Amino acid sequence: MEFKQIKNNKVYEQIIEQIRELIYEGELKKGDKLPSERQLKKDLGVSRASIREAFSALEMIGLIESRPGEGTFIRDSFDEDFFNPLSLILLLNDNVAEELLELRRVLEIDCVKLAAERATAAEIEEMQSYINDLLSSSGYEEESIKADKMFHYTIARASGNKVLLFFMRSISEAMDFHIKNTRTKLVSKEETMSKFARQHEQIFKSLKNHDPEKAAAEMRNHLDYVEKLINKEIEG
């Protein structure tokens, strides 16, 4: 005898499933407008409440966007600034700080290789400005942190791989909470920041010369230093 697992899907999950399939089949594309809640209520034979549960879930993951008075639309890009739920989930796991550090390391090194091959003139110019920011902002914690993050972020963007960029951002966001205090302590030291700035410059030079291996080596060096500091700070 063989029994099939009985799955008592909730209504809102079935609604999501249908929308999902429409996306797979290409019937729903970026920017498309979904039917109104009241229309869907008729079409699907369910209550508006269930539809709204489905919509809020889809909005949470950044797939759709509801605008009062207008309607509900499929988002046209996922690289905009929306809350990334991944970081929330990562929060709940133990030892996740170490794993995040490890993963960031491998991703960032691959990232800088790709960036060295593909970075455009505009992106290189942008990186230069963040290096300048870091040099001139010594003493101002917030500005320093921002300049540091933006430098790395721009590298990720210059990799030309949006999925990679998305992953890097998820990791970065998650790390912000796990290592928040540590980060502030690190950057508050004048000496550390000037060393960061110099390392960034080294990475940047290799990027500018489109030398992937050199850039990777410099990034490795930079991350070694960062991780050493973090470990020292964590362990006391």
Partner DNA sequence: AGAGTACTGATGGTCTGACCATCAAACAAT
Partner DNA sequence: ATTGTTTGATGGTCAGACCATCAGTACTCT
List the one residue from 2, 24, 68, 95 that touches DNA (CB under 7 A).
Answer: 68
What are the b/e assignments for 22-44, b being 16+ CB within 10 Å? eeeeeebeeeeebeebeebbeeb
- CB under 5 to 8 A by kind: which of DNA, a copy of itself, none does 39 bind? DNA
CB nearer to a copy of itself: give 61 or 150: 61
* Three-class DSSP category at 33: strand
- Counting residues that bind a copy of itself (by CB under 8 A) gives 47
38 binds a copy of itself (CB under 8 A): no
Q: How far apart are CA 87 and CA 80, in angstroms?
A: 16
38 binds DNA (CB under 7 A): yes
CB 50 within 8 A of CB 12: yes
10 binds DNA (CB under 7 A): yes
Q: How far apart are CA 105 and CA 97, in angstroms?
A: 12
CB nearer to a copy of itself: give 56 or 120: 56
Per-residue contact track with a copy of itself, 197 to 226, x per CB under 8 A? ------------------------------
Planar angle of CA 65, 69, 72, nearest 5 degrees: 25
List the one residue from 52, 146, 149, 208 that touches a copy of itself (CB under 8 A).
Answer: 52
